[in-house]
Amino acid sequence: MRQASLGIRSGALALFILTFLCLANAGMAQRHEQPPPPTGPWMNTSLSPDERAELVLKEMTLDEKIAILHGVGMPTDEPVTPENAASNRGVGYDVGVPRLGIPGIDMSDAAYGVRSSGVNGRYSTALPANVAAAASWDPNAAFEYGALIGHELRAQGFNMSLGGGVDITREPRNGRTFEYLGEDPVLAGTLVAKLIEGTQSAHVIGDIKHYAFNDQESGRNSVNIHIGERAARESDLLAFEIGVEKGHPAAVMCSYNRVNGDFACENKWLLTDVLKKDWHFPGFVVSDWGGTHSTEKASAAGLDNEQPGSIFYADKFKAAVNAGTIPMAELDGHVRRILRSMFAAGIIDFPRQRSVIDPFAGFETSRKIEEGGIVLLKNDHATLPLIPSRLHTVAVIGSHSDVGMISGGGSAQVDPIGGNAIMPPGKGATHWQEEIWFPTSPLKAIQARAPKATVTYDPGTDPAAAAAAAKGADVAIVFAYMWESEGMDLPSLSLPHNQDAVIAAVAAANPHTIVVLETGSPVTMPWVDAPAAILEAWYSGSDGANAVGNILFGSVNPSGKLPNTFPRSEADLPHPTVTTPPPESDHFSGPVAPEVRAAGLPPFQVSYDEGIKVGYKWYEAEKKPVLFPFGFGLSYTTYGYSDLSVAPGDSVKTTFTVTNTGPRAGSEIAEVYATLPAAAGEPFKRLVGFAKLKLDSKEKRTMTVDIDRKYLSIFDETTHGWSLVPGVYTILVGGSSQDLPLKATINLK
């Protein structure tokens, strides 16, 4: 018997753990005293953040300016030192300007929840993976996602979030696909902007990362990405552009990789020309952890803050200022940006107040976002929703679905309350690259919704045993998972651990087989025709099992749609294999001297020769059929589209009617695509807008989606700006990238 089943699932122990965590948190709050509130002319809140920053800057000594440019190590992993003693023991700490009452910046990873809480005796909610939020196509859900993270950061004593990942899915085998928001820049950019807005609404510095083209983990610290300006601006960078312009993050984290020769964190084109000049980004650029590789070059390129340490931005920086190789004005520029962001995000006017955290308060938000993001991929013969009165026997199979659901790993990892569901209870902290299962049991959720049925469990490790367990049951529900994490890429898009064979065997034994996928990336499905129904549940968060239960039994109608194409096979991807680094460029393997690593490992080359054709644009242009297209997702009801009209203006107004033609209330994501005039040279459509609307059965709603003209434009490499190609545009509207019943043309200039 698994030890986990002895403990965490018993109410008494859960109460004990809750009490322990609350007391631990309260105790730490008492020991960690708040600094006195800052005073000085910069506390005049009628001044702008820039004016306030300027007033502080004028008072600062050279040493204080240098001190605010870098971190003091990673407090979570290191013993208490004089430098990090005042920190909140997150992954990064910047000392601020104590003499002037300017607080330190306490940074925590927070991709889908606050990281490293267990080790600090705290607790945080795991939201569904970011890709699940993207599958909701719901800007309001993205705001709530960010706001929950912001509030829990503050309550735990942090004032800066390291979340907001938005590298688009060029390489679906990227081990961080779950941390990102899909393959389309308009969808990803719109949602990340809302997420950042939500986080910063809690007076926490929000960031957007990893800027830019950190689309594979293999050799991420040395890979040199080649991409042309137009392709870069219309794809990955457009997601960042929308995120920066609409979400106003106070910080941007530059990525580990090189782009067209230079490391992203010392790349003048990325940091200064595009980010600071073209997008008018007023905040500060922070390096990814250990992503700084120089002093003068990085500073001149636009890197403002080195994290987590101080190899290049402390003594070496001061020496460069004293020697005149870095002008004082350049140093002041970095400091001004950091201070300005602190004022703009409100971390000075609204100092964090630690509080005792209710570990269950976030469950409802987490569950609702998951319910909105689960995608129903297949539902033959209306197998779903399940009707409890018709169920006598249910076979639940695979993926530890008796005790938990998987989560995404790496620096995004959130600690489950009580520890990993498949390990001994009480193991508060998680460990790097360990599969972490949240104690949210699908088996229990199913049993609770079919109380009269006999619900059995089979671990799904042996196809024959799983088939025997499924045979004769009214329904067999197979949970299949693919774990992914920062620091690795997936070897392939095939389900690991022989799960393809298990699903095939179960589906052959029972015609009423339902597959529930727990993955961050698309997976291939050699068995796709066999089961009656397929759900993509992603990494489902703290209360994932209840969300899945609500969808399976129909108390929630599925409404999520795919933010990433599911290809038929890896052979159809732009790059059939992930390019891996030669040994001398591999950061993750072998001992590399810290100085060598800091200076930068030798590059290896990856060319994004597919250019703009990312995701569905690639499959359309290359005429490759797919397993499930971008934007696809079924519902328990049906929708009809009618009456499209398109009118030019500052934005292009697209008006159409959506009708719920089926028997149940539901939420439909209406997707608007455009194809450009032939002169644009882009023979594939692009997403230019979307809206999620709730409709009762038979209800019809007319709505208008305003298309930003930038989303219809191309990036002109001669003027280095967006340009609308005059001519005829086709606007397409419908419920999936491959199901667009409405079509209209419009002449634009």
Supply the minimum distance, in Å, between the C-beta of residue 347 and ligand BGC. Answer: 18
Which of 209, 352 has the CB closer to ligand BGC? 209
Kindly state the smallest distance separating residue 210's Cβ from ligand BGC, in Å: 6
Write down the residue that tokens 């510095």 correspond to: 205
**CB of residue 558 vs ligand BGC: minimum separation in angstroms?**
31
Nearer to ligand BGC, 117 or 401 (CB): 117
Residue 291 CB, shortest distance to ligand BGC, in Å, is 8
Should residue 484 be labelled a site residue for ligand BGC when binding is judged by CB under 6 A?
no
Least distance CB 77 / ligand BGC (angstroms): 10
With vertex at residue 390, the alpha carbon angle to CA 384 and CA 395, rounded to the nearest 5 degrees, is 70
Task: Closer to ligand BGC by CB, 165 or 631: give it.
Answer: 165
Position among 94, 109, 171, 183 found at the interface with ligand BGC (CB under 6 A): 109
Q: How far is the CB of 91 from ligand BGC (least distance, A)?
A: 4
- Residues 509-538 within binding reach of ligand BGC (CB under 6 A): none
Between 77 and 380, name the residue whose CB sits nearer to ligand BGC: 77
SS3 480: strand
Identity of the residue, 114 or 714, whose beta carbon is nearer to ligand BGC in the bound complex? 114
Identity (one letter) of the amino acid at 368?
K
Site string for ligand BGC, 191-220 (x = CB under 6 A): ------------------x-----------
Which residue number, 88 or 411, has a Cβ lying nearer to ligand BGC? Answer: 411
Q: Which is nearer to ligand BGC, 74 or 502 (CB)?
A: 74
| Shortest reach from residue 177's CB to ligand BGC, in Å | 14
Q: Torsion angle, CA of 509/511/512/517, rounded to 10 degrees?
A: 70
- 516 neighbors 485 (Cβ within 8 angstroms): no
> Angle, nearest 10°, between helix axes 328-345 and 315-323?
130
Using a 10 angstrom Cβ sphere, with 0-12 exposed, 13-18 middle and 19 or more buried, the burial of residue 288 is buried
**How many residues lie near ligand BGC (CB under 6 A)?**
7
Counting Cα atoms < 13 Å in the Cβ hemisphere of 315 gives: 1
The reply to whether 106 sits near ligand BGC by the rule CB under 6 A is no
Q: Would you give the end-to-end CA distance of the chain in angstroms?
A: 69
- Residue 207 CB, nearest approach to ligand BGC (Å): 8
Exactly one of 183, 234, 288, 668 binds ligand BGC (CB under 6 A); that residue is 288
Q: How far apart are CA 597 and CA 665, in angstroms?
A: 56
Neighbours of 603 (CB within 10 A): 18
> Buried b / exposed e across 498-512, counting CB within 10 Å, b at 16+?
ebbbbbbbbbbbbeb
DSSP string, 89-154: SSSEEE--BGGGTBPPEEEEE-SSS-SSTGGGT---PPPPPHHHHHHHT-HHHHHHHHHHHHHHHH
Can you tell me which of 8, 72, 91, 732 binds ligand BGC, judged by CB under 6 A? Answer: 91
289 lies in the site for ligand BGC, by CB under 6 A: yes
Minimal distance in Å, beta carbon 411 to ligand BGC?
Answer: 4
CA–CA separation, 661 and 699 (whole Å): 8
The least CB distance from residue 160 to ligand BGC, in Å, is 10
The DSSP code for 445 is H
Nearer Cβ to ligand BGC (289/628)? 289
Q: Residue 582 CA to chain centroid, in angstroms? A: 29
Q: 289 or 566: whose CB is closer to ligand BGC?
A: 289
Least distance from ligand BGC to the Cβ atom of residue 269, Å? 21
Cα distance between residue 432 and residue 115, in whole Å: 12
- Considering beta carbons, is residue 168 or 466 the nearer one to ligand BGC? 168
Between CA 92 and CA 310 the distance in angstroms is 11
Identify which of residues 109 and 183 has a Cβ nearer to ligand BGC in the complex.
109
CB atoms within 10 A of CB 591: 7
- In this structure, what DSSP letter does residue 302 have? T
Residue number, 173 or 318, with CB nearest to ligand BGC:
173
Smallest separation, CB 214 to ligand BGC (Å): 8
Least spacing, CB of residue 285 vs ligand BGC, in Å: 14
Contacts of 441 (CB under 8 A, 6+ apart): 9, 401, 402, 403, 404, 421, 545
Q: Please provide residue 429's backbone torsions phi and psi, each rounded to the nearest 5 degrees.
A: -85, 155
Shortest distance (Å) from residue 264 CB to ligand BGC: 11
Using CB under 6 A as the binding rule, whether residue 415 contacts ligand BGC is answered as no
Closest CB to ligand BGC among 182 and 308? 308
In angstroms, give the least distance from the CB of 512 to ligand BGC: 42
What backbone phi and psi angles, to 5 degrees, belong to 553? -100, 5
User: Is 411 one of the binding residues for ligand BGC (CB under 6 A)?
Assistant: yes
Ranges of beta strands (E only) in 615-665 are 626-628, 639-647, 651-660
Distance from the Cα of residue 563 to its chain's centroid: 12
The residue type of 167 is D
**Would strands 475-482 and 393-397 be described as parallel, antiparallel, or unpaired?**
parallel
Q: Pick between residue 146 and residue 629 the one whose CB is nearest to ligand BGC.
A: 146
Tell me if 162 contacts ligand BGC by CB under 6 A. Answer: yes
Contact 55, 40 (CB under 8 A): yes
Is-cis flag, bond preceding 308, omega within 30? yes
Query: Does residue 494 contact residue 500 with C-beta atoms inside 8 Å?
Result: yes
Which residues, numbered 16-55, are part of the site for ligand BGC (CB under 6 A)? none
Burial string for 637-648 (b: 16+ CB within 10 Å, else e) reads bebebeebebee
The residue (of 209 and 258) whose beta carbon lies closer to ligand BGC is 209
How near is the Cβ of 175 to ligand BGC at its closest, in Å? Answer: 11
The smaller minimum CB distance to ligand BGC, of residues 165 and 404, is found at: 165
Nearest to 432 by CA among 58, 116, 163: 116
Q: Which amino acid is at 532?
A: A
Residue 583 phi/psi, 5° resolution? Answer: -55, -40
Question: What's the rounded Cα separation, in Å, for the pair 169 and 167?
Answer: 7
Q: Identify whether the C-beta of residue 576 lies closer than 8 Å to the C-beta of residue 636.
A: no
CB nearer ligand BGC, residue 163 or residue 460? 163
State which residue, 350 or 588, has the beta carbon closest to ligand BGC: 588
The distance of closest approach from Cβ of residue 141 to ligand BGC in the complex, given in angstroms and rounded to an integer, is 22
> Is the distance from CB of 153 to CB of 201 less than 8 angstroms?
no
Phi, psi of 683 (to 5 degrees): -80, 55
Distance in Å, CB of 130 to ligand BGC, minimum: 12
Query: With binding defined as CB under 6 A, does residue 236 bind ligand BGC?
Result: no
Q: Enumerate binding residues for ligand BGC (CB under 6 A).
A: 91, 109, 162, 209, 288-289, 411
